[in-house]
Amino acid sequence: MRITEATLTPLYLTLTHPLKTARGSYATRDGFLVRLRDEEGHVGQGEAMPLPEFGTESLATTHTVLRGWLSALKGQTLEDSIEGIEATLVPSASEEMRQRGARIRGIDSEQRVPAAQHGLELALLDLVAQRKGVPLCWLLAEEARQEVLVNALLSAEEPEDLAREAQAAVAEGYQTLKLKVAGRSLDMDEARVRAVREAAGPRVRLRLDANGGWTEPEANRALDRLGWYDLELVEQPTPPEDLQALWRVQRRAPCIIAADETLATPAAVRTLLTMDLGGGPAVGAVVIKPMVLGGLLPSMVVALRAAHLGMHAFVTSSIDGVVARAGAAHLASALPSGDLASGLAVGRLFADEPRDHPYQPHQGLVRLRDMPGLGLNPDLIWDR
Ligand SMILES: O=C(O)CCC(=O)c1ccccc1C(=O)O
Ligand SMILES: [Mg+2]
């Protein structure tokens, strides 16, 4: 395919209420939309929404890098395939491989720019899938699921408000609820978790996310007490850098421990996926954030490797816009297992979400339609 046009548009999202985590709070999100047109008139869309505290480059770097890549890409031709996309994005020493892609970066470029990579990769995947007339997930796996289980993210602070939120989510059909913990007293968190469990009933899955906010002893104490409320899993109980602590916490935990912030550096991902301290994988699950891992293709590699080691993997957004969440939904549908819900039901947190789009969750599910590529109309984002 030949890229005839490549544009970069700023994307600025506002949350209706700041989302508080143990590591800070999110009130707005800043990034870019990538749009590519091919010689047949298809338009592929991607999104770059950096999250530097999770190891991505800064917004300014995303901007500079994507501007450079897109201006280089315009007018170039690349193979209509995953290999063509990889050859474009992953600088390879092999001349044969480079021939299949477009030339946008030197093989000596050392800079890690996962959000920029995500943005361009997604637009290219959308284009290739449209050209082949298949949903994007079909490029990732032959047996992609049509439905993706998603969790509701509860955002209230006070137990009574959380109980109301939980009840509403269950009434909407969500079977998995997620709650941010840590950064406050354990008594407070216990009251919050108890309120959610009582409001949701015994059958709903309940997951917690500490965002690295507990020390190892605090995490152990918290899990001892909160485990009483029957937890599905806990994301990142301890600080991201200490893999051994995560491993030790998992050993005595009453539920799955999921590594999330720990996946911020390639070195930690490698260690996590090769660490052998005896007795199975280091942790029960890994959280796959495509924006942090540099796109859907590198995410797929991590998820497959995790599955091979007996770890669960589930996808979450990084509080991204609808284009990135659409890509993440296609990734989630292509993972080896769809048992654990994906964190993709965050659209309702935004003040400026497009009203009507195909990735709206219904009854705790995002259903992928049989449309070429992402199936997102390029006007959607502006048409509100
Ligand atoms: O999982 C979800 O439902 C939403 C994703 C989420 O919680 C999140 C959003 C932005 C930054 C970090 C995180 C996280 O999972 O830790
Ligand atoms: Mg998390």
Is residue 74 annotated as a catalytic residue, yes or no?
no
- Could you tell me if the ipTM is greater than 0.90? yes
Rounded Cα distance, 346 and 178, in Å: 11
- Is position 209 annotated in a ligand binding site? yes
Is residue 20 annotated as a catalytic residue, yes or no?
no
Ranges for all domains in the chain classified under CATH 3.30.390.10: 3-133
| In contact, 101 and 87? CB cutoff 8 Å | yes
pLDDT (tens digit, 0 to 9) for every residue of the chain, 384 residues total?
Answer: 999 999 999 999 999 999 989 888 999 999 999 999 999 999 999 999 999 999 999 999 999 999 999 999 999 999 999 999 999 998 777 888 889 999 998 766 778 999 999 999 999 999 999 999 999 999 999 999 999 999 999 999 999 999 999 999 999 999 999 999 999 999 999 999 999 999 999 999 999 999 999 999 999 999 999 999 999 999 999 999 999 999 999 999 999 999 999 999 999 999 999 877 677 889 999 999 999 999 999 999 999 999 999 999 999 999 999 999 999 999 999 999 999 999 999 999 999 898 889 999 999 999 999 999 999 988 877 544
- Is position 235 annotated in a ligand binding site? yes
Q: Give yes or no for residue 318 CB within 6 A of ligand 1.
A: yes
Q: Which CATH architecture has domain 3-133?
A: 2-Layer Sandwich (3.30)
* Nearest-atom index, ligand 1, CA of 289: 15
How far CA 121 is from CA of 11, 71, 213, 257, 294, in Å, comes to 17, 15, 32, 30, 8
Rounded Cα distance, 152 and 284, in Å: 21
* Nearest-atom index, ligand 1, CA of 152: 3
Ranges for all domains in the chain classified under CATH 3.20.20.120: 147-367
Local structure of 332: helix, strand or coil: helix
Q: Give yes or no for residue 320 CB within 6 A of ligand 1.
A: no
Phi then psi for 176, rounded to 5 degrees? -135, 130
Q: Which CATH architecture has domain 147-367?
A: Alpha-Beta Barrel (3.20)
The pTM is what?
Answer: 0.96
β-partners of residue 29 are 13
Q: Give yes or no for residue 317 CB within 6 A of ligand 1.
A: yes
Query: How far does residue 319's CA lie from ligand 1's centre (Å)?
Result: 7
Burial status of residue 27 (CB atoms within 10 A of its CB: 0-12, 13-18, 19 or more): exposed
- Is position 260 annotated in a ligand binding site? yes
Enter the DSSP assignment of 105: S
- The number of C-alpha atoms within 13 Å of 40 and in the hemisphere containing its C-beta is 11
